[in-house]
């Protein structure tokens, strides 16, 4: 924990600090954590510390006053309930084994359902790299490898989904591996003939695709620099 908090403080002073969101911490380890702002993983929402304003929770969906709540779900039929509770959704996009990764079809349907019911979401697990790729799934030597979704794919799919495109188009975007398939300018991103303006992307990031969780901050930054999207 001490090392993670120290790293977080260093990242907040870096040139890429604009990319950095909240420090995610389990409620049971709050007493060890001096980082801020926080998003707290909780099981029991009945006794939240008053200083906590963002939580991530599994379990029954209900309105929780005075906090921003992300409900982790694997059942898309729960998204209307999340909307009714004034909450946000959380999708798990990977894990430490190939079996932990959902299909691109499921992710596309999740995004489209969030658009339909006006539910903002965050993604967690498996989004260490900008584009879909085949990589080791853990940092352990000899660990399993598998196909990982890219956070750029997911965020652009969310932006495109607001145009009511068909699920097959989103699946194609989620499966896109080639950097050359994307064209970036100061005011737009183009993929497969689809043009997304910076205004559309900014609106999507503010209203729909809020954030993604990653074990590493340095890895996504390094990959974006390697692709030429961020300056070296």
pLDDT digits (tens, 9 = 90+) for 189-223: 999 999 999 999 999 999 999 999 998 999 999 99
Q: Report yes or no: 121 and 213 within 8 Å, Cβ to Cβ.
A: no
pTM of the predicted protein model: 0.96
**Is the residue at 59 inside a domain?**
no
pLDDT digits (tens, 9 = 90+) for 156-199: 999 999 998 999 999 999 999 999 999 999 999 999 999 999 99
Distance, CA of 177 to CA of 153 (rounded, Å) = 9
The encoded tokens of residue 69 equal 């709540």
Beta strand 54-57 pairing with 194-197: unpaired
HSE, CB side, 13 Å, CA atoms: give it for residue 230: 17
Taking Cα atoms as reference points, which of 133, 153, 154, 136 lies closest to residue 145? 136
pLDDT digits (tens, 9 = 90+) for 4-50: 999 999 999 999 999 999 999 999 999 999 999 999 999 988 888 88
Distance, CA of 205 to CA of 200 (rounded, Å) = 9
**Is the residue at 12 inside a domain?**
no
Give the chain's domain count: 1
Question: What does the DSSP assignment read for 101-148?
Answer: SPPHHHHHHHHHHHHHHT--EEEESS--BSS-EEEESSSSTT--EEEE
Q: Which domain holds residue 200?
A: 96-226
SS3 79: helix
Please name the residue ranges forming H helices in the chain.
2-12, 79-84, 104-117, 151-161, 167-174, 198-207, 218-226
pLDDT band at 139 (very low <50, low <70, confident <90, very high): confident
**Is the residue at 102 inside a domain?**
yes
**Is the residue at 78 inside a domain?**
no
At residue 49, the pLDDT reads 85
**Is the residue at 101 inside a domain?**
yes
At residue 218, the pLDDT reads 95
pLDDT digits (tens, 9 = 90+) for 84-129: 999 999 999 999 999 999 999 999 999 999 999 999 999 999 898 9
| Mean pLDDT computed over every residue of the chain | 95
**Is the residue at 27 inside a domain?**
no
Q: Report yes or no: 23 and 36 within 8 Å, Cβ to Cβ.
A: yes
């Amino acid at each position: 924990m001490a090392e993670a908090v120290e790293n977080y403080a260093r990242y907040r002073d870096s040139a890429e600090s604009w990319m950095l969101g909240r420090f995610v911490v389990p409620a049971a380890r709050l007493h060890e954590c001096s980082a801020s702002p926080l998003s707290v993983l909780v099981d029991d929402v009945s006794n939240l510390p008053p200083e906590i304003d963002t939580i991530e929770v599994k379990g029954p969906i209900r309105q929780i006053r005075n906090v921003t709540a992300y409900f982790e779900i694997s059942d898309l039929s729960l998204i209307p309930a999340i909307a009714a509770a004034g909450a946000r959704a959380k999708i798990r996009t990977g894990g430490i084994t190939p079996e932990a990764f959902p299909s691109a079809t499921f992710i596309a349907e999740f995004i489209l359902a969030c658009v339909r019911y006006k539910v903002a979401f965050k993604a967690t697990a498996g989004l260490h790299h900008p584009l879909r790729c085949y990589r080791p799934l853990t940092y352990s030597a000899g660990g399993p490898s598998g196909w990982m979704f890219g956070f750029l794919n997911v965020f652009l799919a969310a932006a495109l989904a607001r145009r009511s495109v068909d699920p097959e188009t989103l699946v194609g975007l989620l499966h896109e591996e080639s950097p050359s398939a994307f064209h970036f300018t100061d005011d737009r991103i183009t993929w497969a003939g689809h043009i997304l303006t910076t205004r559309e992307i900014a609106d999507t990031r503010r209203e729909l695709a809020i954030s993604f969780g990653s074990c590493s901050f340095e890895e996504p930054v390094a990959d974006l620099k390697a692709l030429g999207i961020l300056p070296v």
